Structure 1
Amino acid sequence: MKNLSKELILETAHRMVAKQGMEKVNLSKVATVLGTSHAAIYKYFTGKEELWTALASSWLNHELAILFPFETENYSSTKAIVHDWLWSLSESKYQSYLREPEMFKLYTTYIDGNPMVWARHIEDLVGSLKVASKIEDNELLRALLLAFSWFSSPAFADKWLLIDFKKEFEGLWKLVVAGVSE
């Protein structure tokens, strides 16, 4: 057995969930794969919910790494920054949904389904967009996220394959862009 750590537990759980689905993975099975006891995992996580929330958060942070921070040095307008930031958020979640559906399901359950964790996720997104765009109006930033939630919220993920994702995104952008100052 390797030296047990939070990171090793998360990596192992990620592989198992991605392959088997979260319904078929529990702390005992993760411990078995790690060659340790179920109790040893409790030194790092208080239970399955904490482990799954940490795993979903870690996975989501990796999937959205392009936004933290969002590089703006090659942009000449706020509108272009906001557009590309929103597209990066949307495209990242879309591709994640296609590439790792079981991890996306875990994220949907343990981040989107937990109001406190969801609120932190939204505040992280607002903070990233604020820094990138230099827009100080938090209400406007939240409104932009809400307007584009069709393209980023897991609640709509099962509909994404039914639309021309990029074309629909650009159609909404045309409606919204007038509210973003240069």
Structure 2
Amino acid sequence: MATTETLTAERILATTEDVLRRHGAAKATVVDVARALGVSHAAVYRHFRTKAALREAVTKRWLDRTTAELKLVVEDRSVPADERLRGWFAVLFAAKRKKAGDDPELFATYEVLLGENSGVVEEHITDLVGHLRLIVEEGVAQGELTSPVADPELTARAVFDATGRFHDPCYSREWFKPGIDEAFTAVVELTLAALRT
């Protein structure tokens, strides 16, 4: 069934998400995506040279949605650094938990894709740690925070790692257990306390 709608990379990515949701990462093919779009698989390959490139782009698109939300918190300099850190972690945890809870099929698929596309994941983590570094640097410069380690990048990475239970997909089953919100608050508050002393 041919379509008259212009084939764009964005349309292909949105359709690929739907196909992944239906078939899972193991079974979804470029032919499935093309069929859902009403085009030939060659048309899809004109936008994404390989199946791996398409899957990588879908993974990046998914991760970039979270990064965009977090960037708004980072850029709100009307809020003190400790509150921005608290807000940043709250947004990150809420976004990850929402993805895991609202669409478990797609979330499971993304866990597979994340494993396949470690370069995209590493870039995403670098962006997230960069957000934290910026908030810590600004907080130290304003006298709102102290960095227990001289290197702000190392501090940011330590803070990120300390909160991994609330954003690393390998912990996603824990995100819906009783007491998780209290555990989240405790870890964030302890982390912030370390940056205030």
Match of 2:81 in 1: 78
2:76 aligned partner, one-letter code:
T
Match of 1:51 in 2: 54
Q: What is the CA-CA distance between 1:161 and the residue it aligns to?
A: 2.0
The higher-RCO structure (CA 8 Å, 6+ apart) is 1
Match of 1:179 in 2: 194
Match of 1:155 in 2: 170
2:124 aligned partner, one-letter code:
H
4+ residue segments displaced more than 6 Å: none
State whether structure 2 residue 134 is matched by structure 1 residue 131.
yes
Name stretches of at least 5 consecutive residues in structure 1 with no aligned partner: none
Distance 1:140 1:113, change over 3 A: farther
Name stretches of at least 5 consecutive residues in structure 2 with no aligned partner: 140-150
Partners of 1:56 and 1:108 in 2: CA distance: 9
Distance 1:85 1:171, change over 3 A: same
Larger Rg: 2
Partners of 1:141 and 1:157 in 2: CA distance: 22
8 Å Cα contact 2:21/2:109 also seen in 1: no
Partners of 2:164 and 2:117 in 1: CA distance: 17
Q: How many residues align?
A: 181
8 Å Cα contact 2:63/2:124 also seen in 1: no
8 Å Cα contact 1:112/1:154 also seen in 2: no
Partners of 1:115 and 1:17 in 2: CA distance: 19
8 Å Cα contact 2:86/2:188 also seen in 1: yes
Partners of 1:138 and 1:156 in 2: CA distance: 24
Partners of 1:131 and 1:52 in 2: CA distance: 30
Partners of 1:81 and 1:9 in 2: CA distance: 35
- Equivalent residue for 2:158, pick from 143, 148, 172: 143
Partners of 1:47 and 1:93 in 2: CA distance: 28
Q: TM-score, normalised by structure 2?
A: 0.81
Q: What is the CA-CA distance between 1:64 and the residue it aligns to?
A: 4.0
Q: Percent of aligned pairs with the same residue? A: 28
Deviates further, 155-164 or 139-148: 155-164
Q: What is the CA-CA distance between 1:154 and the residue it aligns to?
A: 0.5
- Equivalent residue for 1:28, pick from 17, 31, 46: 31
2:164 aligned partner, one-letter code:
S
8 Å Cα contact 2:25/2:112 also seen in 1: no
Distance 1:74 1:166, change over 3 A: farther
- Equivalent residue for 2:8, pick from 5, 18, 26: 5
Q: TM-score, normalised by structure 1?
A: 0.87
Partners of 1:53 and 1:169 in 2: CA distance: 30
Match of 2:147 in 1: none
8 Å Cα contact 2:30/2:51 also seen in 1: yes
Q: What is the CA-CA distance between 1:113 and the residue it aligns to?
A: 4.8
